[in-house]
Structure 1
């Protein structure tokens, strides 16, 4: 059990809404459902759920369909938000006051932290990645990312206790004109790195090019153009082509995942 004390972190704006994190939820269920089912007592933390309980409840509901015994704990640093969420508790879903220290009874199998680190400096974001990774159960996962307020554009990173492993871009096809429009959803560790000479900039540049040369496929709809663009992009970037991280079944959702090593910044801030 984490020791009681002042929560670690700062209060966020708390902006949230129904289905804002649906894209990430279904990715978690598809990619990490097996490891959650394999855990003896799977515990999932929704860190910084905001002014409404909605996204924690939705995560709980979606994960219970694939991991019947999962427990979800929503953690917020604002006592008023915890008080508002408490009436929505049920067996397997609770809400607690806390922050990056994660006041839970055992190391979590998975932590989802969305729209939490945007207000921090880049060096602080790297630091809190390390803090949260250190709280995970062996083989656990931290999913940290940012979404638009509607949830139609999102980018998230999957981290193991050893470090970042994947980055995922996900968007509704009507929510962008070219793939680099997702740059404003990059995690804090990358958002200032979208400049020439950085790998993330090169990836988004090449993704835009693949999208442009696949324009003819748009006659059959944006989804077909996206699929064609990913096939073109795969010639120069290590886009996973098989489940659970890749392949047509995931790409059709407006999603693409890369190994973190492909876009890892060359230098990290002190």
Structure 2
């Protein structure tokens, strides 16, 4: 009998390198945590119609974090799991499951990546889904949940610590060379925010101010989009508590505390 799982089958759209921006940020955050872990297992929840992004994550983490890290792709569609098992290799595996994050021997993952999964759920289901996943994490672990476009140029996500119900941070990551306005991220906001981008909500105010600082630094255009982006983020700091530094900003990233944009 097929075991009971928590969640619904998603459309499963995916493309090679679609999640590169998320992986890059996770490598920045996760390195010391995974390197110090006694059981370095990472879960990619809801990898979609093909397991390519899970495989890419595995090779990135093995190369840049530690050579014995394990990655498990979990999917609620058993057909997708069967197909993914064809690319299993030492340290990379796939399993049938959902938000309950089933791992053998009661193992607890050090990190969970859940991308383009909650986008297809109701906003009312987000908090419960977060809690289900964070309850499965190792004590020092974290969840990264968010959304991106089909080719990975527009991404945003939230990060939650183990056992927590509320995110710690919110991040947007954009390909600045193809950017007209920072608010272009709006269609790719996490489910918890996508319907809140309206006047009176904090995410709306944040994106409006970001657009203003972007437009206000049009004099930087001759120096390139990246320099303009960094200048816009610097200006944004006068109104918002921007985290990280120019190294991350130059990648098209901006991370802020969750409460700055949390729904009212």
Coarse TM-score class (shorter-chain normalised):
over 0.9
How many residues are aligned here? 258
- Distance in 1 of aligned mates of 2:241 and 2:26: 21
* 2:194 is equivalent to residue 196 of structure 1: no
Query: How far off its partner does 1:176 sit?
Result: 2.6
Counterpart of 1:217?
220
* 2:80 is equivalent to residue 77 of structure 1: no
Query: How far off its partner does 1:174 sit?
Result: 3.1
CA contact (8 A) 1:48 1:76 kept: yes
CA contact (8 A) 2:116 2:147 kept: yes
Query: How far off its partner does 1:139 sit?
Result: 1.6
Counterpart of 1:136?
137
- Distance in 1 of aligned mates of 2:52 and 2:60: 12
CA contact (8 A) 1:41 1:69 kept: no
Where do residues 8-87 of structure 1 align in structure 2 (5 Å cutoff)?
Answer: 8-65=6-63, 66-87=65-86
- Distance in 2 of aligned mates of 1:98 and 1:77: 5
Counterpart of 2:241?
238
CA contact (8 A) 2:44 2:114 kept: yes
Counterpart of 1:243?
none
Query: Deviations 1:45-67 (Å, cap 9, x if unpaired)?
Result: 00000111100000001111222
CA contact (8 A) 1:82 1:95 kept: yes
Return structure 1 stretches of 4+ with deviation > 6 angstroms: none
Where do residues 253-268 of structure 1 align in structure 2 (5 Å cutoff)?
Answer: 253-266=251-264
Query: How far off its partner does 1:218 sit?
Result: 1.2
- Distance in 1 of aligned mates of 2:66 and 2:203: 34
CA contact (8 A) 2:159 2:169 kept: yes
Counterpart of 1:173?
176
CA contact (8 A) 2:177 2:226 kept: no
Unaligned runs of 5+ in 1: 241-245
CA contact (8 A) 1:214 1:225 kept: yes
CA contact (8 A) 1:153 1:175 kept: no
- Distance in 2 of aligned mates of 1:259 and 1:60: 28
- Distance in 2 of aligned mates of 1:253 and 1:174: 11
* TM norm structure 2: 0.95
CA contact (8 A) 2:85 2:93 kept: yes
* 2:101 is equivalent to residue 102 of structure 1: yes
- SS of the equivalent of 2:25 reads helix
* TM norm structure 1: 0.93
Query: How far off its partner does 1:198 sit?
Result: 1.0
Unaligned runs of 5+ in 2: none
Query: Deviations 1:90-110 (Å, cap 9, x if unpaired)?
Result: 111000111111111311110
